[in-house]
Amino acid sequence: MRRYFGRKLLIYLVTFFLAVTIDWMIPRFMPGNPVQNMLARASVRPEAAEAMYGYYTKAFGLDVPVWKQYLNFWVALFHGDLGTSVYLFPQPVSKVLRESIPYDIFLLLPAILLSWWAGNKFGAFAARTKRLDNTLLPIGYILTATPYMWLGILLAWAFGVVFDIFPIAGAYSFSMQPHWSWAFVWDVLKHWFLPFASLFLVGFGGWAIGMRNMIIYELEADYSHYMEALGAPRKLVRKYAFRNAILPQVTGLALQLGVIVAGALVTEVVFSYPGIGYLLLAAIQNQDYFLIQGCFLFIITGVLLANFLIDIVYVIVDPRIRRGMVGE
Amino acid sequence: MWSRSKRFVSVLVIALLAFGALAVGQVYDRNETLYVSGAAWGPPNDWNPFITWSKANTTGTIGYLYETLFMYDPLNDEFIPFLAESGEWVSDTAYEITIRDGVMWTDGTPLTAEDVAFTMNLGKDYAALWFAPMWNYVINVVAVGDVVRFDFTEEPLYQEFDNNLYNIPIVPKHIWDSKSEADITGGANENPIGSGAYMYETHSSDRNVWLRNDNWWGNDVFGVPAPKRIVDARFSSNSVALGSVIKGDVDLSNNFLPGIATLAEKGYVKTYFEGAPFMQAANTAVLFLNTTKKPMDDAAFRRALAYAINVDDIVRVAYANLVSAASPTGLLPSLAKYDDQAVIDELGWTYDPTEAARILADAGYVDVDGDGYVEAPDGSAIALEVTCPFGWTDWMESIAVISDSAKAVGINIEDVTPDYGSWNTALTNQTFDMTLNNWANMSNTPWTLYNLLFNHPIKEIMGSGNFGAYDNQELFDLVDALAAVPTTDLAGMQAVCSDIQRIMLSEVPMIPLWYNGLWAQYSDSVWTNWPVDGSNDPARLPTTWSGYWQLGGLLTLIELELANP
C-alpha cells in the first residue's frame, strides 16, 4: 500500500514540476509584449512612453535574462508570491484569484456533483426501459449537443427578460452590498440559479447518456447473463451492472472537478457571473504572464489533486485494485 | 446524533435571523441610484489617477473623485473653470491660475495652491508619469498664496499645455508627499481621498459604487448632482447589457449595442439624435497604412485605396447607421472649424471605385497574371491583410467591408482578426499591413488627433501613434509648429492646420473612415432630462467613459431629474 502511494506521489510531483514549467513557458512564447500592450492605451508622448516602458518592464521583473526570470519565478512561488497582474495592474495575482475562485466553486461544485449524481441515477434507470429510452434520452442527447452559449442566452432571455423571474447579470443585485440577511441570501440564490441550471442541464444529459450506454454494455456482459441464467432477480443483476458501470464515470467526475476553476468560462460570459474563467480569457488576450500562470497553477493543482483523490477512491470502490496491492 | 444536528440547525437559524436584523441600509433606493454600464473593460484594479490606462475600469477616479483645474466642453468649445477660479497668460512665458476658495478634500483638509503645485511637480520628479514631458518646456511651478504660477521656456507648447489643464488630476499633498515612487506610479491607492462630487464607496469585480459628496464645493457653483449613488456595472457580454437596458435595470448604457437603432425607433430606449446617426461622434476610426512596406509606401496606391473603400457600406452594414462617414481630414465635427474646405474640395476623396481603378492603372498597378488582382509596377504580386482585434464585432464587420471593396477594384486584401495582444504588438512594431485605430479622444485642439496620426520621431516601436511610421519631416515640423501656437490664436491654428491638411490629403499617409459614436442609450423610467439634440439646455455628453467627465460629462449628472419624485 505504501509503495503504491509512494510511487503515485512521486509521479505527481514530477508531473507538477513539468506542468508548472510549461505553464511558465507558454505565455512567454506568445508573440507580443505585455508591458507594451498595457501602456499602449496610455497614448502619451514618445518620450514619456519610453520612460514608462523601461520603468514598468523593470517593475514586472522582465528586464532580466529569461533563465533568471525562471529561477525568480520558482523562488517567488515558494514564498507564495504569484506576482502582479499586468491586465489588472497593480493588483497582485493571488488577490485576484482569491476574490474570483469562490464564485467558481460556488457555481460549479454543486452543478458538477448534482448533475453527476442525478445523471447516473437517471441513466441507469432509463437503460433498457423502453419508454424512457425512447423519450427522455433523446432529450439528453439534445442537451449535451446544444451549443452551450446558445442554451445560456436562451435561458437568460426566457426566464430573465420575457418572464422576468430571474436576474440576468451578476452574482448579486447591483442594488445590494454584501451582508447577512435573508433578502441578500435569497438574492444570491436567485442570481445563482440560472447559471447553475444551465450547467446542470448540460452535465446531466452527458452523464445520463454515458451511464445508460455503460449499463447496457454491462447487462450484455457474461457475468450478467450467467446471473440471469442462475435465476437472479433483475434488480440484483442491475445492481451489479451499476457498480461496474460507475467506475469510468468516477474517472470522468475527477477530470471535471480538476478543471473546476476554469470550467465555466462561457457561463460567466453569458450570465456576466464573476469568476476565474472570464479573467483567464482576458489574461490570455492581454498576455498577462502572471495571471495566466496563477490560473493554470490552480488548474494543474486541481487536476493532480482530483486524480490523487480518485486513486484513493478506486482503492475503496474497486476490489480488484485492493486485491492487486495485497497480492504484491 | 439526531439531537446534535438538530441543535446545529437551531443555532444556524438563530444566527441567520440575527444577521438579518443587521441588514438595514444595505439596499440602495432605486430613486436615489443611477445605474450605468459600458465604461469598464475589466474588474476595478486601482484608484490611482496617474495610472491612466486602467481608468476605464474605475471610471470616475478622475472626474468624480479627483478633479482637474478646468473642464473643457467640446460641444460649445469652452473652457469651464473648475478647481481653478480663473487662469491667464500674464506674459508669453508665464501662466497664472487662481485656485478656487473653499474647496475641501473629503478628509476635511482645504485644497490649496500648494496641492496644485505639488501635483505638477510630480511630473518633474518622476519620468514614468504621463505628463512628465510637460517639463521639457516648463521651468517651474510654484504656489504663491492662492495663485499657482507656471514659468515656461521660450517655446511653450500651448496646445498641449491647455490640454493638460483639463487632464491632470490634482491630488492632496498631505497624503501623496509621503508616498514612494512605486506607490505614486503604480500604487492601487485604495480608500482614496479626493475633492470631487462623488466619493468611493465600495466595489467588487463587476461594479464600482460611488456615493455623493454632500460637501462638494460645486454644489453652489454648478448645482447638486441628482443621484445620491452611482453604480457602474460591468457586463461581460453585449447581450447582458442589452437585456439590462430593456429591463430598465440600467439607466444609461455606454456599450456599443448593434441593434439600438431599431430599439430607439420603437421607443424602447432614448438616444441623443432621434434619427441616424443616433449617437454623437466621439473619435475617428482611422485606417493606418504601414508605409514601411510595399506597396503602402506609394502615395498613389494609398490614394487609390482611399477612393476604393465604401464607407457608406461600413456605416450601413457594420453599424446599422449608428455612425457617420468621417471628413478626409479626420477631424471630429466639434473641431470642424479647423477643416480647410478649399483643401478638402481640391484634394479630398469620396467612394469612387472607377477613380480608384484609374489611379491604380496610371501608377502602373495592373493585373499581369490575370488572377483578378493587380500586381505592383515591378510585377510582384500584392497580397495584403487588414486587421482588427478578434471580438470587436463592429470593426470585424468593417474590415470585411474594406476587404470586399478593395477586391472590387482589384486590390487583394484579406480581413484578419488576431487576438488583442498580438494585434497590439503588430500595431506598435510595424508588422501589420493596414489596421484600424481610434485612440484620439474628443479634444480642445486638432493637435490631439495630429499627435496620434503623425507621432514622431520615428522609432522602432511606435507606441502612441503614427503606427504606419509615415516619415515626413515637413509634416512633423508643422505639427510641432501647431503645438506652439497659442490656443487663443484661432487664425494661426487654422493656417497651420490648413498646411497639415494639404500634405495629409495629397500624401494620404492614413485614411480616416468614420466617426465612432459616443455610444449612449438611456432609459427614461427612473431618471429623465437626458441630453438630446435640440433641447433648450446646453448640449452635454451622456457618457460615463473615462476621460469624458471633465469634458462636461459631470454636468449631465447635475441636470438629471427623477421621473417620479
CATH number of the domain enclosing B113: 3.90.76.10
Q: What is the pLDDT of residue B13?
A: 55
Q: What is the pLDDT of residue B302?
A: 96
Query: Which residues does chain B have within 8 Å of residue A183's beta carbon, measured at their own beta carbons?
Result: 20, 23, 27
Q: Where are the alpha helices (DSSP H) in B391-461?
A: 393-408, 420-428, 447-453
B272 with B288, same domain?
Answer: no
Contact (CB<8Å) B237/A272: yes
Task: At B374, list the grid cell.
Answer: 493587380
Mean pLDDT of B201-229: 93
Q: What is the pLDDT of residue B57?
A: 82
Mean pLDDT of B425-453: 92
Residue B8 included in any domain: no
B10, pLDDT greater than 80: no
State the best of A60, A151, A175 to mutate against chain B, taking most chain B CBs within 10 Å.
Answer: A175
Complex confidence, ipTM = 0.85
| More confidently predicted of B225 and A40 | B225
Task: At B240, list the grid cell.
Answer: 447582458
Question: Distance between CA B359 and CA B464 in Å, rounded?
Answer: 32
Cα distance between the two ends of chain A: 9
Question: Distance between CA B532 and CA B553 in Å, rounded?
Answer: 14
B299 with B386, same domain?
Answer: yes
- Burial status of residue A302 (CB atoms within 10 A of its CB: 0-12, 13-18, 19 or more): middle
Contact of A267 with chain B, judged by CB distance below 8 Å, is answered with: no
Question: Distance between CA B497 and CA A65 in Å, rounded?
Answer: 47
Per-residue pLDDT band for B2 (boundaries 50, 70, 90) equals very low
Mean pLDDT of B100-113: 95
Return the ∠ at Cα B226 (arms to B220 and B229), rounded to 5°: 115
Contact (CB<8Å) A164/B46: no
Residue B286 included in any domain: yes
Q: What is the pLDDT of residue B6?
A: 60
B229 with B297, same domain?
Answer: no
Residue B296 included in any domain: yes
Contact (CB<8Å) B239/A55: no
Task: At A317, list the grid cell.
Answer: 470502490
A53, pLDDT greater than 50: yes
Q: Are strands B252-253 and B33-37 parallel, antiparallel or unpaired?
A: parallel
B505 with B525, same domain?
Answer: no
Task: At B124, list the grid cell.
Answer: 518633474
Yes or no: say if B102 and B95 are a contact pair by the CB < 8 Å rule. no
State the best of A180, A194, A276, A284 to mutate against chain B, taking most chain B CBs within 10 Å.
Answer: A180
| Domain end among B184, B211, B232 | B184
B270, pLDDT greater than 60: yes
| More confidently predicted of B193 and A122 | B193
B484 with B526, same domain?
Answer: no
Contact of A102 with chain B, judged by CB distance below 8 Å, is answered with: no
Return the ∠ at Cα B340 (arms to B335 and B342), rounded to 5°: 150
A179, pLDDT greater than 60: yes
Mean pLDDT of A311-316: 83
Query: Which residues does chain B have within 8 Å of residue A286's beta carbon, measured at their own beta carbons?
Result: 420-421
CATH number of the domain enclosing B386: 3.10.105.10
| Nearest one of B450, B441, B448, B456 to B543, comparing CA atoms | B441
State the best of A97, A176, A181 to mutate against chain B, taking most chain B CBs within 10 Å.
Answer: A181
- DSSP state, residue B169: P
B333 with B398, same domain?
Answer: yes
Question: Distance between CA B549 and CA A138 in Å, rounded?
Answer: 55
CATH number of the domain enclosing B539: 3.40.190.10
Question: Distance between CA B437 and CA B289 in Å, rounded?
Answer: 11
B463 with B537, same domain?
Answer: no
Question: Distance between CA B86 and CA B99 in Å, rounded?
Answer: 7
Task: At B498, list the grid cell.
Answer: 490648413
Q: What is the pLDDT of residue B21?
A: 47
Tell me the pLDDT of chain A averaged across its residues.
85
Tell me the pLDDT of chain B averaged across its residues.
90
Q: Are strands B384-387 and B413-416 parallel, antiparallel or unpaired?
A: parallel
Quick one: CA dihedral B506, B509, B514, B519, positive or negative? Answer: negative
Q: What is the pLDDT of residues A269-296, one digit of tens each?
A: 888 888 888 888 888 888 888 999 998 8
Q: What is the pLDDT of residues B509-533, one digit of tens each?
A: 999 999 999 999 999 899 999 999 8
Yes or no: say if B284 and B464 are a contact pair by the CB < 8 Å rule. no
A328, pLDDT greater than 50: no
Q: What is the pLDDT of residue B291?
A: 96
Query: Which residues does chain B have within 8 Å of residue A37's beta carbon, measured at their own beta carbons?
Result: 420-421, 424-425
- Domain segments of chain A as ranges: 101-287
Q: What is the pLDDT of residues A228-246, one digit of tens each?
A: 899 888 888 888 888 888 8
Question: Distance between CA A318 and CA A321 in Å, rounded?
Answer: 6
Give A101-287's CATH code, choosing from 1.10.3470, 1.10.8, 1.10.3720, 1.25.40.
1.10.3720
State the best of A28, A39, A44 to mutate against chain B, taking most chain B CBs within 10 Å.
Answer: A44
> How far is residue A283 from each of residues A93, B8, B395, B415, B494, measured CA to CA in Å?
11, 43, 22, 25, 45
Q: What is the pLDDT of residues B118-164, one digit of tens each?
A: 999 999 999 889 899 899 999 999 999 999 999 999 989 999 999 99
Mean pLDDT of B59-86: 93
Q: Across-strand partners of B514?
A: B285, B325
> How far is residue B488 from each of residues B74, B162, B366, measured CA to CA in Å?
15, 10, 50
B453, pLDDT greater than 50: yes
B534 with B420, same domain?
Answer: no
B93 with B142, same domain?
Answer: yes
Mean pLDDT of B474-498: 94
Q: What is the pLDDT of residue B179?
A: 95
Q: How many CB pairs under 8 A join A and B?
A: 201
How many helical (H) and strand (E) elements, i.e. helices and strands, does chain A have?
Answer: 14, 0
Contact of B35 with chain A, judged by CB distance below 8 Å, is answered with: yes
B321 with B333, same domain?
Answer: yes
Residue B34 included in any domain: no
Percent of chain A at pLDDT exceeding 70: 95
Per-residue pLDDT band for B271 (boundaries 50, 70, 90) equals very high
B492 with B525, same domain?
Answer: no
Q: What is the pLDDT of residue A48?
A: 74
Residue B237 included in any domain: yes
A263, pLDDT greater than 90: no
Sheet holding B207-212, edge to edge: B198-204, B207-212, B229-233, B33-37, B252-253, B521-522
Q: 3-state class of A100 per DSSP?
A: helix
B12, pLDDT greater than 70: no
Percent of chain A at pLDDT exceeding 90: 12
A129, pLDDT greater than 80: no
Residue B27 included in any domain: no
**Which residues are CB-neighbours of A200 under 8 A, at least 6 positions away?**
A111, A114, A115, A118
Q: What is the pLDDT of residue B1?
A: 41
Comparing A19-33, B70-84, B161-175, the range with the smallest average pLDDT is A19-33
H or E segment to which residue A240 belongs: helix A234-258
Query: Looking at the 3D structure of chain B, how many domains does it have?
Result: 3
A261, pLDDT greater than 70: no
Per-residue pLDDT band for A44 (boundaries 50, 70, 90) equals low
Nearest CB among A99, A177, A268 relative to B236 is that of: A268
Q: Tell me the whole-structure pTM to 2 decimals.
A: 0.88
Contact of A270 with chain B, judged by CB distance below 8 Å, is answered with: yes
Residue B21 included in any domain: no
Query: Which residues does chain A have within 8 Å of residue B457's beta carbon, measured at their own beta carbons?
Result: 46
Contact (CB<8Å) B424/A40: yes
Contact of A169 with chain B, judged by CB distance below 8 Å, is answered with: yes
Q: What is the pLDDT of residue A313?
A: 84
Q: What is the pLDDT of residues A186-229, one digit of tens each?
A: 999 999 999 999 888 888 888 888 888 888 888 888 988 899 89
Instruction: Identify the domain containing residue B123 by its residue range.
Output: 68-184
Per-residue pLDDT band for B9 (boundaries 50, 70, 90) equals low
| Nearest one of B263, B286, B265, B284 to B274, comparing CA atoms | B265
Contact of B491 with chain A, judged by CB distance below 8 Å, is answered with: no
Contact of B180 with chain A, judged by CB distance below 8 Å, is answered with: no
Q: What is the pLDDT of residues B358-391, one digit of tens each?
A: 999 999 999 998 899 999 999 899 999 999 998 8
Nearest CB among B16, B130, B455 relative to A42 is that of: B130
Nearest CB among B187, B236, B456 relative to A90 is that of: B187
**Cα B410 from chain centre:** 36
Contact of A162 with chain B, judged by CB distance below 8 Å, is answered with: no
H or E segment to which residue A193 belongs: helix A182-219
Task: At A280, list the grid cell.
Answer: 483567464
A97/chain B closest Cα distance in angstroms: 11
Mean pLDDT of A80-105: 88
Yes or no: say if B62 and B49 are a contact pair by the CB < 8 Å rule. yes
B4, pLDDT greater than 70: no
B197, pLDDT greater than 80: yes
B546 with B498, same domain?
Answer: no
Mean pLDDT of B210-217: 95
Question: Distance between CA A4 and CA A318 in Å, rounded?
Answer: 15
**B28 to chain A: closest CA residue:** A175
